[in-house]
């Protein structure tokens, strides 16, 4: 169960594209090309080969065509285009879920973001995917479902620190991986909604300690949004949520306690 980017406000998304530093075609990129994409091959020939591999990895044809068009028309774009395709191909070779990278490309191209900035975000997303998978493997899980890797990577893109996420997957809690992923999403989307981080931490601790996070709790922040519309303070929402979790209650019980409604409570979170 994954929460789409449509939950985020345009302001958050805009900040997302300008927050990262502009990369350069530095030595680290040269090493990447040498290791994975054969830097000695002429650029156009290399890009053609990489484009075929990216399409085979699942990149939508429309996205690929738009990316190629921008790369060949934007000043200095060919170099960035080659590295972007290389990162996508490398992610697929590493067994990472490429869908998040494709969505990022579509978002950036749709907003006419320069390729140099798209590259910065793609690099960050790839790094987050790597970290999310290693973090869950470090918890003793030999097999990590790709959707769970992607979900945690999205949380990292929302500004939650790696230290905070690592704590959820550490030895303090005995909860199964799926509950830890839900806890991470509560932190991430709560942060995006400017929900007090200490209150969120208390909710997350209760859910993990009691092993009470059923799948519907991923929509906790939707309940927060509806509660705010009724002028219910975040502190009361958090207190009520903790009490419900201590009793191993469901999100529906929290909704009933607060006297709010979300329609339907198990649908993807979307802007209203």
Reported as a pLDDT band with limits 50, 70 and 90, residue 120 is very high
Q: For residue 40, what are the domain limits? A: 1-157
Q: Is 121 found in the same domain as 4?
A: yes
Reported as a pLDDT band with limits 50, 70 and 90, residue 17 is low
Q: Is 191 found in the same domain as 128?
A: no
- What local confidence, expressed as pLDDT, does residue 261 receive? 87
Q: Does 162 reside within a domain?
A: no
Q: Is 69 found in the same domain as 200?
A: no
- What local confidence, expressed as pLDDT, does residue 272 receive? 46
- What local confidence, expressed as pLDDT, does residue 9 receive? 41
Q: Does 200 reside within a domain?
A: yes
Q: Is 142 found in the same domain as 19?
A: yes
Do 47 and 77 contact (CB within 8 A), yes or no?
Answer: no
The Cβ of residue 182 has, within 10 Å, a number of other Cβ atoms equal to: 25
Q: Is 116 found in the same domain as 63?
A: yes
Domain tally, the chain: 2
Q: Is 199 found in the same domain as 100?
A: no
Domain end, chosen from 128, 157, 186, is at: 157
Query: What's the pLDDT tens digit per position in 51-71?
Result: 999 999 999 999 999 999 999
Buried-state track 5-21, b at ≥16 Cβ within 10 A, e below 16:
eebbeeeeeeebbeeee
Query: What's the pLDDT tens digit per position in 236-271?
Result: 999 999 999 999 999 999 999 999 988 654 434 454
Q: Is 148 found in the same domain as 45?
A: yes
Q: Is 152 found in the same domain as 123?
A: yes
CA geometry: angle at 160 spanning 156 and 205, to 5°? 115
Q: Is 178 found in the same domain as 240?
A: yes
SS (H, E, C) the chain: CCCCHHHCCHHHHHHHHHCCCCCCCCHHHHHHHHHHHCCCCCHHHHHHHHHHHHHHCCCCHHHHHHHHHHHHHCCCHHHHHHHHHHHHHHHHHCCCCCHHHHHHHHHHHHCCCCHHHHHHHHHHHHHHHHHHHHHHHHCCCCCCCHHHHHHHHHHHHCCCCHHHHHHHCCCCCCCCHHHHHHHHHHHHHHHHCCCCHHHHHHHHHHHHHCCCCCHHHHHHHHHHHHHHHCCCCHHHHHHHHHHHHHCCCCHHHHHHHHCCCCCCCCCCCCCC
Domain end, chosen from 123, 157, 191, is at: 157
Q: Is 135 found in the same domain as 6?
A: yes
For 118, the token pair is 């798209």
Distance (Å, whole) CA 132 – CA 136: 6
Q: Is 140 found in the same domain as 45?
A: yes
Residues 6 or more apart whose CB falls under 8 angstroms from that of 91 comprise 57, 98, 101, 126, 129
Q: Does 256 reside within a domain?
A: yes
Reported as a pLDDT band with limits 50, 70 and 90, residue 137 is confident
Q: Is 124 found in the same domain as 29?
A: yes
Question: How far is CA 113 from its chain centroid?
Answer: 19
Whole-number mean pLDDT of the chain?
A: 84
């Amino acid at each position: 169960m994954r929460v789409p980017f449509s939950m985020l406000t345009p302001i958050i998304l805009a900040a997302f594209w300008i927050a990262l530093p502009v990369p350069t075609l530095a030595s680290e990129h040269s090493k990447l090309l040498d290791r994975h994409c054969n830097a000695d091959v002429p650029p156009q020939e290399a890009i053609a080969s990489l484009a075929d591999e990216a399409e085979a990895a699942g990149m939508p044809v429309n996205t690929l065509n738009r990316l190629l068009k921008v790369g060949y028309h934007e000043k200095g774009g060919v170099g960035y285009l080659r590295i972007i395709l290389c990162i996508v191909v490398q992610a697929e070779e590493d067994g990472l879920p490429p869908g998040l990278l494709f969505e990022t490309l579509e978002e950036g191209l749709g907003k006419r973001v320069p390729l140099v900035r798209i590259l910065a975000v793609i690099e960050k997303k790839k790094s987050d995917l790597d970290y999310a998978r290693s973090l869950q493997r470090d918890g003793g899980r030999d097999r990590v479902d790709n959707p769970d890797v992607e979900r945690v990577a999205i949380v990292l893109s929302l500004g939650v620190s790696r230290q905070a996420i690592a704590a959820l997957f550490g030895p303090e809690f005995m909860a199964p991986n799926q509950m830890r992923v839900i806890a991470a999403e509560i932190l991430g989307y709560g942060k995006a909604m400017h929900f007090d981080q200490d209150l969120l931490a208390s909710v997350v601790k209760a859910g993990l300690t009691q092993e009470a996070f059923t799948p519907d709790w991923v929509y906790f922040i939707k309940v927060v949004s509806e509660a705010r519309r009724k002028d219910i303070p975040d502190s009361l929402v958090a207190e009520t949520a903790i009490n419900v979790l201590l009793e191993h209650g469901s999100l529906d019980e929290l909704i009933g306690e607060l006297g709010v409604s979300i329609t339907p409570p198990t649908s993807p979170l979307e802007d209203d």
